[in-house]
Amino acid sequence: MRIDSQKSLIYLAALVVLVSECVALDRSSFPLGFQLGFSTSAYQVEGAAHEDGRGPSIWDTFCKIPGKIFGGANGDVAVDVYHRYKEDIQILKSLGTDVYRFSIAWPRIFPGGSRRHAEVNSKGVHYYNSLINELIDNGIEPIATIFHWDVPQVLEDEYGGFRSKKILDDYAEFAEFCFKAFGDRVKKWMTVNEPSIFATHGYLNGINAPGRCSPPNGNCTEGDSLREPYIVSHNLLLAHTHAVKIYRTKYQEKQKGSIGISLHSDWYMPYSTSQMDVDATQRVLDNSLGLYIDPIVFGDYPLSVKQLVRDRLPVFTEQESKDIKGSFDFIGMNYYVTAYVMDNSTAVPLPPSQEEPDNPEIPDTFAITTRRGSRVLAIISSRSKATAELYQDQIQQSTSLYH
């Protein structure tokens, strides 16, 4: 198949990839057209959690649960970007920064999650207007992420957040408000940041908000590790589709911007040259990256995932499949580490009550991170490019690489 040639795959990699291989870096170290950028999420950097009308998110609640966060840390203050953004932008400028990606805190704009519960918080809108204007005034392009894991707590309490399709209308309302309020200056939008991490860490092992899981995957008070990660992933993809549809039909032509999604996938390599390990590696990729990128490129989940997960995997309706296919102008790829994969298909099957404890997506495969003395969680920059090229080749479109 061939996708619109104007679409691109944006490769977002940790700078440590390059630092690990270079003694010194300057502009000549990078290809022509390279853009140096930095990325943050609202809860991790803004602070001011209880100021100027911001409502609580699931992260505010999660961080207050004893034992969930090392040392009892939380984002109440963080690095105080809310008050220090002008100073921070000057630091970015001094580093020669071209682009800066930030997330718009849903509960700072909609303290009640939607207009059903509370009016728009004008002070929150003022903050993001000021941040965007300050970036532009200093020659830095703003890129905005609409959802970076901070579900308003009121929506989590009301219907379970992304466990329910009810969130689609509320997310769409928030996304459209962002387009309307900031789209005259923001020309690149990310609908969702790393849906795989939100789904697995929030609902598989419970180490992130909202902290849901079931035994033996983690120590949570409630959750279903076998089903909820797939339900949440499905609803995140549908939310992405809603936002793209709104932007394309109502704002893109006038605002002249582009919209996409930021995905995460580590790279995986066969432990040996055996066909079993090669096949196992493909299953890992299907279940880690394909689960999210296949629907937006091809309109459905990978066949291997559907065969493996069976009735625990939600199904796209015919209209949903049509809408999600091609729902991107670019795809952001976040890459961190590489792991080796060994086939585990000869393992003794687990009883139904304990099916797939460590990784519900891949019961007959496991990933390892050391081989012949290699470092644990090795960062291999050539493999990060391979992650991009895997789908780049399939959709036959031009590539833009941003480190």
Question: Domains in the chain, ordered, with CATH?
Answer: 36-344+373-382 (3.20.20.80)
Q: Give residue-wise pLDDT tens across range 30-61.
A: 888 889 999 999 999 999 999 999 999 999 99
Q: Is the separation of the CB atoms in 44 and 106 below 8 Å? A: no
Nearest one of 296, 293, 300, 328 to 314, comparing CA atoms: 300
Cite the beta strand spans of 249-315 per DSSP E.
258-264, 267-270
With H, G, I as helix, E, B as strand and everything else as coil, classify residue 306.
helix
Question: Which pLDDT belongs to residue 363?
Answer: 37
- pTM for the predicted model, two decimal places: 0.87
**For residues 161, 144, 41 and 137, what is the CA-based torsion angle, rounded to 10 degrees?**
-150
Question: Which pLDDT belongs to residue 29?
Answer: 82
CA distances from residue 117 to 155, 242, 343 in whole angstroms, order as listed: 10, 21, 50
CA pair distance 173, 327, nearest whole angstrom: 18
Question: Which pLDDT belongs to residue 393?
Answer: 60
At 331, list the tokens. Answer: 């795809």
Nearest one of 129, 134, 107 to 118, comparing CA atoms: 107
For 218, list phi and psi in degrees, rounded to 5: 180, 180
Name residues whose C-beta falls within 8 Å of residue 311's C-beta, 6 or more positions apart in sequence. none
Question: Which pLDDT belongs to residue 360?
Answer: 35
CA pair distance 265, 390, nearest whole angstrom: 12
pLDDT below 50 — which residues of the chain?
1-6, 11, 13-22, 347-381, 397-403
CA distances from residue 32 to 35, 148, 170, 388 in whole angstroms, order as listed: 9, 30, 41, 19
Q: Is the separation of the CB atoms in 11 and 388 below 8 Å? A: yes
